[in-house]
Each structure stands twice: as structure tokens, then as C-alpha cells.
Copies of this chain bind each other. A is one copy, B any other.
């Protein structure tokens, strides 16, 4: 709910969490809730998992193409995570912001730090914690797609990701997905109302004062 009729600047909205904390569900619900929310699709060199669609879940590229994107400055942020590279293409983000839309980034703490630098600090960073590590383990096992060694690796990575919780503006605990989604939506709605993003306000106030003079 931006101020009606006034020009505004879109929010760069980062959602981070360890795998299994519910971030993807919340991101999908956010996107479905409001056509003004666009999603940044990351580029990656890792192979697609079953069911993943190129251009929707990720843009899947090979290592030479990824390196070329880095060299050309085509990425707003990028990181090397274990054997894979991940990055955020710049052009679609700039296009979505120019349309006045908010852009949702499903990226990790390294990406969040770089995006913050790139955007001069004008980024809203939300971290989603699991209610407990035991619950996180249950959620990861519940997917039924990975063997125990993979899950152990994910748990270790989750702990490493969680250790960066204090680099975020908001930190939520996903005890209940409906409540957590409502909190994320509340944060986005409030951030849309910040004066600094209401670029039309200066003109509104000028007209107010002239007509009132």
C-alpha cells in the first residue's frame, strides 16, 4: 500500500535464511499477494534439481558464461558457495525498479552484503530463523529428496548462515508460516511508506503549500 497516486521508488527487499527455514514458501506467497512485487532470478552454475525451471528458479549457465558476466559487470552481487557460483543479474532489477515495482531477492548473507553496498544502503534485509535446529532437520528430511550426508552438510551450512543474523534489519522466527508471512508483508508495506521512497511527496507538499498560500 504505497501512498495512492504518488510516485515512489521500489524497495530492494532481501530475504535470507538457511535452507529449510521456509523462505521459498514465503517468497512465493509474497509474489502471489501483490503484482507490484517482482522477483530477482539469480544466475547459477550449479545443475538444475528435478523440477527446477530455467529462467524461473534460476538462470542456469556454465562457468565461462558466469565469469564473462562478472567481467562485464552484469552482476550486482555474486558469490562462490562451495563448488557453485551464484549471482544477481543487474539489468532485470533496474528494469523492475524503473517500473516502480519492489524487487525480492532470495540471496545469502554474502549477496546481501554486496547488494547493500551496490545500492548505497537502500536495501531492506530480512532474515528468517527456524524455531529450532531440530525442527530445521525435520523440515529438511521431510522433503525426502536428499540422503543423510547431504542433510548433514545442509545443517552445517545452516549454522554458518545463521551466524550472520546480525547483518539484517529484521530477524523473524518462522514458528508458524502464516504468522511469519504476515510479518514479512507488514515489513514490506511499512518500508514502502518510508519518506525516502515516496519520491512524489516533494511535489505533493509543494502543491499543498502553493494552493494554501
Q: Would A205 and B1 be within 8 Å (CB), given that A195-B170, A211-B134 are in contact?
A: no
Chain B residues lying within 8 Å of A175, measured Cβ to Cβ, are 4
Nearest B residue (CB) for A187: B190
Task: Label chain A's interface by main secondary structure.
Answer: helix
Partner of A3, one of B165, B169, B173: B173
Nearest B residue (CB) for A198: B171
Give the distance in Å from the alpha carbon of A156 to the alpha carbon of B49 in the complex.
Answer: 65
Give the distance in Å from the alpha carbon of A205 to the alpha carbon of B159 in the complex.
Answer: 10
| A132 on interface, CB distance cutoff 8 Å | yes
Chain B residues lying within 8 Å of A195, measured Cβ to Cβ, are 127, 165-166, 168-171
User: Which 4 A-B pairs rank lowest in CB-CB distance, beginning with the nearest?
Assistant: A133-B212, A190-B190, A171-B195, A187-B190
Establish whether residues A133 and B190, one from each chain, have CB atoms under 8 Å apart when the complex forms: no
| A84 on interface, CB distance cutoff 8 Å | no
Nearest B residue (CB) for A175: B4
Give the distance in Å from the alpha carbon of A174 to the alpha carbon of B1 in the complex.
Answer: 14
Establish whether residues A162 and B1, one from each chain, have CB atoms under 8 Å apart when the complex forms: no
Partner of A159, one of B134, B166, B190, B209: B209
| A172 on interface, CB distance cutoff 8 Å | yes
